[in-house]
Structure 1
Amino acid sequence: MASDSESSEEEWEEPKLKYDRMGNDLLEILRTDAASCIALHSKFVALGTHWGIVYILDHSGNNNTSKHCKPHATSVTGISLDGSGEHVASCSDDGTVKITGLYLDENNQVITEDQPVKSVALDPNYSHSSSKQIVYGTNELVLLEKTWLGRNKRTVLHGGEGLVRCVKWRGSYIAWANDLGVKIYDMKQRRRITYIPRVGAGGTNRVLPKLGGTRVELYPAHIAWKDDTTLLIGWDKDIKVCAIRDKPSRDSRAPTKYCVVVHLFKTDFSCCGIAPLGDQIAALAYMEEDNEAGSTRPQLRILEPNAADKESFTELSRDALSIRGYQTYRCKDYSLQHDSTEIYFVSPKDIVVAQPRDEDDRVDWLLHINHHREALEAVKEFGKRLKKHTYMEVGLLYLDHLIDSHDFTEAASVAPQILGNNMNHWEGLVHRCIKAHQVSVITAVLPRGDFRLPQACYELVLEELLKTNHKEFEKLLNDWPNDLYNIVTITNKVLTYLDRDSHNPVLLAALAKLYAADQRFDRALSIYLRIQHPDTFKLIRKHNLYAALQDNVVALMRFGEGEAVVLLLDHMEHVPIDKVVADLKRKPDYLHKYLHALYQRDSHLGSEYHDLQLQLYAQFDRPKLLPFLKSSNYYKLETSLEICKERGYVDEQVFLLSRMGNASGALALITQNEENVGRAVEFCKEQNDSELWLELINRSIHKPEYIRGLLENIGTHVDPIILIRRIPSSMEIPGLRDAIVKILQDYSMQTALWFECRKVLSSDVISLLRKQLRVNSRPISIDEERSCDACGRPLLCQNNGSVADMPVIVTFLCHHCFHDDCLPSQNRSSCNVCRGNIRHS
């Protein structure tokens, strides 16, 4: 059952409990009667009415007609169940207490008093106990039990303090409330443990100002056991938590139990029901109205006592309950009962049930407040613990929410994990995005792997983009596999649009991609070249369209000359050099780049075009002309010289003249065009011709600046005296003295260098000579295995042991040994092996 929040801050706070209204047969019962009290068991619910009837219902409100309780003459004031759920005890203002067995009738009995009975409690172990104990409250608290003879024994446990309006029995403890306070009785020791006054420590009755009656009648006490030793008390605006503790004592007759109030705090509401909720307290709150508009909705307050301060608490939540007819009810008309899993809120015409929220309830709440993403994550986290929700169901709600909020980007990002391989839901998403003109956001996430949608679905997406976004359409053709859609169908659609806009480059590129996908590569290449598409060369290489290069040489060069040249050179078998040169004759700049790249790849290829290439270098790239002249041997020298003369290229003319053998002419050209003699000097050094040096001297003799340059550089190549003697005595040469000083310094340096080198050589000669002497001074061993280096026979005779018969052995300092007879008589001064006259191995 939904609950209303009291403030905007709490609007997003998840409720602690979930609520539902008890229905079915209960609705018909309350239509003609009114609920007065209720008791709970895990198996069923016992409901007492103002007409004196006790109904046995299941937890859904269905009446169990097989279980009957004897009715009372007037309103039922209290109901109690034993622990096993086999017996029901009810009391009434007619002065009767009736005990009914739901399965056996042997323990049924009716107890009659001469005054109204306001409360009743069965021993929790009533069904299995022989004493069959029961307590009920009138002006006294009466204990009724069977003796060993089977007779009922009536004992008054307390009296004289007003009506006993409420009694609760748990374990061995009985707690009851009368007009003055709450008492606890220990059935084991058969004595009262404590008295807890109604207000504070010594409370007094307060008079209700408006009605003139006692507050205790309109605001009765409500008690509930949290556990076997903890009692919760809610009375008007006071709430107490009491704990029973053991009292150590040596006297066996002295009380061993005592009770302390561990929490006592004031509230801003009147408590009309109390129950434990874990470590927290659930209180049914009644709020008084100052005007005459009627009562407000009752509220369930969840309170957490402060462990550090017994008089303070934290309110964790408050839920306004939708009770039918709440406007006419007072605090005394409400009550609250609980078991381990449920809390029942009872009013005369309505019963509301609260239960702990489970995983499905959390998902419901997140969906209710439109936190769909958190709900989806919760479903993923809870997994199989969910009984109501599925990942697909919540995911579809999330997608609906995103689309309704026009957040199509987020919808596209989560669609794959939500929709999975569900084709129907995918198609629905596509149609919704197309309808909202947001199809571009889902193109990247549409399935295109093993799981795919029907072709028509992808074609719808392409057609929508063809209408709205041509660039996205072209991009999709690149990203999607060709078999996702019918190529011919989409091609025809594109052609239809091109009929209206034939120069649209994006549509032309898309058409080319479609032609390529349909293996009509000639048309695709034609379009690519027309629009100069960057994928032109990629298309050619991918599909080996090299045969088409012959008809598109100029177009390729115009589009991308660098990559075009590489392509043409890599596939000269398809496009010969002659074909390229012929096509590019009218585009000399393109032809120059082609021939230059060809020459760099192989200087011998296209050698017949080197004269043409020389002209192109001279026209477009002079820095590469001289290196080309130096490295190529296939051009005509005379023609090249004429070209360089026409353009005034001095360095190139000098090289060509020197290559033609006209070094003198080259030198003359240098001296005519260069003001610095350095270039002429370098040229003469390269030629290494003494006559050329003399010619340079003759050409420089009337140029003072040249003479100085020659004096500074000629010293190592020509005798400077020759130049000095030719200098006219009357000529004034700037820096002559410095030049002559440099000549003298160079000469002095050369002389010193010569002497030092001579010393080094002499030292090396002496060192090598000494090494040679040491080698030659080594002894020479001659044994029987040593053979003659001329004839190859052993040097020593092994058969004849006479010394006189021993052959004469000649040994050189080179350690080569010979028989004396093996050496020629005319030349015995040097070793024949070392001279090379003998090649013996």
Structure 2
Amino acid sequence: MGFSKRKKRHSRALQDNNSSPKTEDAKIQEPACPDPPQASEALRREESCEASAFPSLITAAPSHENKRLDVAMDESNDVSTASSSRSSESKDLSSPTVRPLHEKADTGPSNEALETISGDEEAYEEPAFHTEFLKSSVTDILARDSISSMAVSLHHIALGLQSGMIFVLSRTGHLEKGFQVHSAPVLDIVFDSTGEFVGSAGMDGIVMIAALSSSEQYEFNFHRPMRSIALEPQFGNRSSRAFVCGGMSGVLVHREKRWFGYKETVLHNGEGPIWAVAWHGRWIAWANDRGVRVIEASTHEIIALVPASPNAPRPELVRYSLYWRDLNTLLIAQGDRITVASIKSRNKATEDEVRAATPTVPTISGLVSSLAPASRDLHEYVQVIDIFQLECLVSGIAWSMDAMITCAYLVDETELASMDSETLQIRPHQSPEIRLINRHGEELASHVLDVSDFTRFHCNDYHMRASLEPKWDPVLQEDVLSPVFFVANPKQIHVLRPRNERDHIQWLLEHDEYREALEALEALGSGPAAALGFDVAAVGRDYLTHLIHDLHEYTAAAQLFPLLLRSDVAAWEHFVFLMLDHGQVKTLLPHVPIKDPELGEVAYDMILVHLLRTDEQTLLMTLRTWPGHVYSTQAVATAIEDQARNSRVLLECLAQLFLANQMPGKALLYLLRLRHSSVFELIRENDLLIDVQHKIGALVELDQELADSQEPQNSALIPLLVRHTHSVPIQRAVHQFEPYPWYQYLYLDALFEKDPSLVVPYANRLVRLYSDYAYPKLMPFLRSMSSVYSFKEAYNVCEERGHVPEMVFLRGRTGDLPGALNLILERLNDVEMAIEFVQQQDDADLWNILLAHSCNKPDYVRGLLEHAGGEIDPVRIIRPIEYGLVIPGLRPALMKTLKNFHMQHSLLSGGMTVLMNHTKELVYRYQSVLSAAVPCDAQAVCTVCEAPLLQDFYVPIVLFLCMHAAHLSCLQPQMESHPSHASPMEPVTLSTTRLYADSRENRIGEDSTMLYPQERESFSDEKDPTLDLLQRSAQTRQHQHLAKQGCPTCAKERAYCLSD
């Protein structure tokens, strides 16, 4: 529901879980009978007081008769124990630590300050309830009589009247039934929990219970005014038909139906009139002059007493109100104070714990308790968990919507501070209020009742009852039970229904609280909001219109456009035109969408036209931000050209428009005219250098302006020209750079770094530019480009500027070495440079010139000794020295020369030693390889034919040092054509001694000792020696050729590796 926004003004917790005095142990306290004068005075007050009713919707229960027993209480708030003759127990929850009820802290504005609230603020306060008067039959009934009590069930309303009549009406106010039982005002009337029976108690002492749908009816006459009645839970469904009642006699009576009639049990008496009773579940609570007691309905055991406030008004002036919040929590309203009591279960104490808790020092209370018989342990006790002090009197209380609902009777603070006065006057011009108070004592909402002639009514004339009614929920699409409250005064009945979310939102819209309404709709969600009948988009549009037309809060409205208008193009265009009509184009501009959604061209054109008239700079920024397709480029350009003329901003706008229209060439002309910083970036991105190839001078001036220097080190123009030599030819660029020699130097230097061949036609010019602007680069250029520039012109330039090292270089390149050396000796006077120059040229004549020049110059002699000692014989340096010439530093120079010679000698000796050792090592390795054994066995195969090497008959074989072996016959064809395949062979065990001997005779595989004896003899006998010699020579040459070829297998592997 939607609550009104109110200050927390009247509820204050005096006692909570941390600060409230808790009586954890069961204390038995017997009631004390009132003194006779007090009793008689109470009877007299009963005779004169008006009828009152009590706001309990729950039934009540019976009690025991208890004996009177004084209670001893010490300063530590401990209550002494006593016993009862009937084992009935109670619990006194009084505590002196509770603050006086009227010691109020300064927590807010006074009542006088609250009265100064303006009528406008009150008029805009949202009501908490829908209020209507119950009419129909009620109007006719109250025209002749007045209400003295009221009860409400799910389907009916029961009215007890001053005349004694009882009327039962429907929830809409139509009369359904009437009872004429009482002859005096009906002081209390209740429904049972089934809603089928109604019970009443009257001043005439009669208690009546009647069924609504049958003729069943019970009447009891107690002969004393009866002020309260409570029916047992599910009274209509139980055969016991039990109820409790009490009145001015001070006796709480429990009656229960048995076989032979009703059985009556006195639950409690002797503590003054029974002002109210409430029965819920297994607990019965009733209020008397001592306070509120709680009893267990089935065992009739009293478990506690919640004492009355000592400053509370008399119950006949301000009634007790009892309401069971749940099965174990009781709300007690007494005067301006609400007490929340909770029934809790205790763990049964062990014997040791009881003994430990027994006082060791004898006391009077201890003696009394020791003489009394032991009482039974109670398993439940009552604990006060909250006490709330209000700034009004409470004439009724209920619990609903997780809050306390109170009927507040407003009185002056002075009257509230003197509760013992005989009469309480209502505050002038203050009607009663219905207030909602949460568990923490904070007021959530309030509603002022519209009571006719409210000044005539007192606190007990008002009766409030809470109930439920089915109500259709459009969100859940089903009936739900919604709370409803009935407040009666003697002449009217108010029906209050909490305002739901739809009512809250509707009220907000009616009072132009659109923001809160939109927040509430957003919290609901689109589906439930639509089910409640609200169009969120329409509410948003109304809110924006309200902000613009009524409040003139243009900034706030513009900020809400994206949130509320979303993708509604028509709505966007409507509010765009509305803001333009109010002259708020700059306020609107940051929030105008350019996509999702994209508006029509007319909307964007109108915005740009307004900016053209009001703010040219913002127009330029907008054109940079918006894409060109959202507005009409040609139309906007035409409008700007009409006003551009000498306006730099508008010229830049035109350039931006051409850029947006994909015409960067035209835009570049405007930007160059404006000397804009984006010119070079535009040229770079769009390759536009060809469009300004004849305006290099203008680009140079722009570059100087941007760099704030006539000779900028980092130019934005030069890289563009170097990169796009195809767009601007080098010759054209160099020509246009004539007035700007610095830029000419930057341009040619950049070309030289990119490709030296590009500057060949301009080499002489580049020598001059390097000489003027980049002297460190001159010498590298002269060295690298000596074939393209004029030596004479270059020498003249260097001579003009005094660049002697470059003159030395140029004389050396032209062959004038003595002249170059003379420049070093005469103009530079640098012996180290002279020595370096002579060393580079390696010319004996130059050494002679240098020695001749140095013979009478001590610095030169010392320099030659220090730097040229390794290049020339020091004797040649020392011998020409004139006798008596003083040479500073000669000794260190000679020592350095000797050290250099000694070092050279040591290096030569060491190098020779290393070389000899390395040679020996290689020789030894070579001998080891040649003398290594090669294994061979019967399994060895030829690497060419893969046949066994060792056969029964003689076959010559060739063994290579790579451990491959082959038949000689297989290798001979390899001399002409090598086979295309080879296979590795297994090791062959053969002696290499003979092979080594044969190799020294230039023979491989030829040995007469390898022939069998028979063959050798026949060979020597049959063949001619000359022929044999020729054959041997041929074989020797063949074997030598074969040996030079090497192993065919290894040759193939090397060829394969090389091919990869």
TM range (shorter): 0.7 to 0.9
Contact 1:4 1:321 in 2 (8 A): no
Return the letter of the residue paired with 1:222: S
Contact 2:292 2:308 in 1 (8 A): no
* CA apart distance, 1:426: 4.1
Partner of 2:383: 262
Cα distance in 1 for partners of 2:1001, 2:745 equals 68
* CA apart distance, 1:680: 1.3
Partner of 1:218: 317
Q: Residues 555, 385 of structure 1: CA spacing in aligned structure 2 closer, same or farther, 3 A cutoff? A: same
Cα distance in 1 for partners of 2:158, 2:574 equals 52
* CA apart distance, 1:548: 1.0
Partner of 2:761: 608
Partner of 2:396: 273
Does residue 572 in structure 1 map to residue 698 in structure 2?
no
Return the letter of the residue paired with 1:56: L
Cα distance in 2 for partners of 1:195, 1:725 equals 136
Partner of 2:668: 525
Counterpart of 2:448 in 1: which secondary structure? coil
Counterpart of 1:22 in 2: which secondary structure? strand
Cα distance in 2 for partners of 1:562, 1:814 equals 82
Match of 2:780 among 627, 632, 636: 627
* CA apart distance, 1:576: 1.8
Partner of 1:211: none
Contact 2:411 2:426 in 1 (8 A): no
Partner of 2:153: 41
Q: Residues 154, 480 of structure 1: CA spacing in aligned structure 2 closer, same or farther, 3 A cutoff? A: same
Partner of 2:982: none
Does residue 563 in structure 1 map to residue 716 in structure 2?
yes
Does residue 56 in structure 1 map to residue 169 in structure 2?
yes
Does residue 83 in structure 1 map to residue 83 in structure 2?
no
RMSD: 5.4
Does residue 458 in structure 1 map to residue 604 in structure 2?
yes
Greater displacement, 415-424 / 374-383: 374-383
Contact 2:627 2:660 in 1 (8 A): no
Q: Residues 425, 285 of structure 1: CA spacing in aligned structure 2 closer, same or farther, 3 A cutoff? A: same
Does residue 323 in structure 1 map to residue 449 in structure 2?
yes
Greater displacement, 363-372 / 769-778: 363-372
Q: Which runs of 5+ in 1 are unaligned?
A: 12-16, 209-214, 249-253, 306-313, 795-806
Q: Residues 441, 791 of structure 1: CA spacing in aligned structure 2 closer, same or farther, 3 A cutoff? A: same
Cα distance in 2 for partners of 1:144, 1:53 equals 22
Partner of 1:125: 234
- Deviation digits for residues 658-698 of structure 1 (CA, Å, limit 9, x no counterpart): 11222222112222211221121121122222222222223
Contact 1:402 1:411 in 2 (8 A): yes
Cα distance in 2 for partners of 1:180, 1:628 equals 120
Greater displacement, 611-620 / 469-478: 469-478
Does residue 705 in structure 1 map to residue 859 in structure 2?
yes
Task: Map residues 485-504 of structure 1 onto 2, 5 A cutoff.
Answer: 485-499=631-645, 502-504=646-648
Cα distance in 2 for partners of 1:409, 1:822 equals 121
Partner of 1:294: 427
Partner of 1:20: 129
Partner of 2:985: none
Greater displacement, 428-437 / 321-330: 428-437
Return the letter of the residue paired with 1:262: Q
Does residue 5 in structure 1 map to residue 115 in structure 2?
no
Partner of 1:585: 738
Q: Residues 238, 600 of structure 1: CA spacing in aligned structure 2 closer, same or farther, 3 A cutoff? A: closer
Q: Residues 558, 786 of structure 1: CA spacing in aligned structure 2 closer, same or farther, 3 A cutoff? A: farther
Partner of 2:421: none
Greater displacement, 79-88 / 652-661: 79-88
* CA apart distance, 1:598: 0.9
Cα distance in 1 for partners of 2:573, 2:536 equals 19
Q: Residues 621, 172 of structure 1: CA spacing in aligned structure 2 closer, same or farther, 3 A cutoff? A: closer
Cα distance in 2 for partners of 1:227, 1:809 equals 122
Contact 1:222 1:274 in 2 (8 A): yes
Partner of 2:999: 812
Contact 2:138 2:173 in 1 (8 A): no
* CA apart distance, 1:634: 1.8
Q: Which runs of 5+ in 2 are unaligned?
A: 10-106, 115-125, 349-374, 416-424, 469-482, 704-713, 935-957, 960-964, 977-993, 1007-1028, 1053-1060
Partner of 2:1055: none
- Deviation digits for residues 596-634 of structure 1 (CA, Å, limit 9, x no counterpart): 111111111232122222222222222211111111232
Cα distance in 1 for partners of 2:460, 2:1001 equals 140
Does residue 785 in structure 1 map to residue 972 in structure 2?
no
Task: Map residues 617-766 of structure 1 onto 2, 5 A cutoff.
Answer: 617-632=770-785, 633-729=787-883, 731-766=885-920
Partner of 2:79: none
Cα distance in 2 for partners of 1:809, 1:705 equals 68
Cα distance in 2 for partners of 1:714, 1:835 equals 52
Cα distance in 1 for partners of 2:885, 2:243 equals 153
Cα distance in 1 for partners of 2:973, 2:715 equals 74
Partner of 1:543: 686
Cα distance in 2 for partners of 1:195, 1:600 equals 106
Return the letter of the residue paired with 1:555: A
Cα distance in 2 for partners of 1:641, 1:169 equals 127
Q: Which has the higher contact order (CA 8 A, sep 6+)?
A: 2
Return the letter of the residue paired with 2:131: M
Contact 1:193 1:257 in 2 (8 A): no
Number of corresponding residues: 787
Contact 2:396 2:407 in 1 (8 A): yes
Partner of 1:14: none
- Deviation digits for residues 256-281 of structure 1 (CA, Å, limit 9, x no counterpart): 98985533968465442233469976
Contact 2:206 2:222 in 1 (8 A): yes
Does residue 170 in structure 1 map to residue 357 in structure 2?
no
Does residue 476 in structure 1 map to residue 586 in structure 2?
no
Tell me the TM-score normalized by structure 2.
Answer: 0.62
Q: Residues 101, 815 of structure 1: CA spacing in aligned structure 2 closer, same or farther, 3 A cutoff? A: farther
Counterpart of 1:812 in 2: which secondary structure? helix
Return the letter of the residue paired with 2:690: A
Q: Residues 361, 786 of structure 1: CA spacing in aligned structure 2 closer, same or farther, 3 A cutoff? A: farther
- Deviation digits for residues 705-754 of structure 1 (CA, Å, limit 9, x no counterpart): 22322232222222233333333335443333443333333333323333
Counterpart of 1:540 in 2: which secondary structure? helix
Partner of 1:308: none
* CA apart distance, 1:255: 10
Counterpart of 1:23 in 2: which secondary structure? strand
* CA apart distance, 1:424: 5.3
Match of 2:463 among 324, 335, 352: 335
Contact 2:434 2:448 in 1 (8 A): no
Q: Residues 271, 596 of structure 1: CA spacing in aligned structure 2 closer, same or farther, 3 A cutoff? A: same
Partner of 1:251: none
Cα distance in 2 for partners of 1:195, 1:234 equals 17
Contact 1:324 1:350 in 2 (8 A): no
Return the letter of the residue paired with 1:645: E
Q: Residues 694, 397 of structure 1: CA spacing in aligned structure 2 closer, same or farther, 3 A cutoff? A: farther
Contact 2:134 2:492 in 1 (8 A): no
Counterpart of 2:861 in 1: which secondary structure? helix
* CA apart distance, 1:115: 8.0
Greater displacement, 24-33 / 314-323: 24-33
Cα distance in 2 for partners of 1:83, 1:696 equals 135
Cα distance in 2 for partners of 1:258, 1:770 equals 114
Return the letter of the residue paired with 2:332: I
Q: Residues 739, 232 of structure 1: CA spacing in aligned structure 2 closer, same or farther, 3 A cutoff? A: closer
Cα distance in 2 for partners of 1:176, 1:223 equals 8
Greater displacement, 357-366 / 280-289: 357-366
Partner of 1:597: 750
Return the letter of the residue paired with 1:508: L
Q: Residues 495, 832 of structure 1: CA spacing in aligned structure 2 closer, same or farther, 3 A cutoff? A: same
Greater displacement, 441-450 / 758-767: 441-450
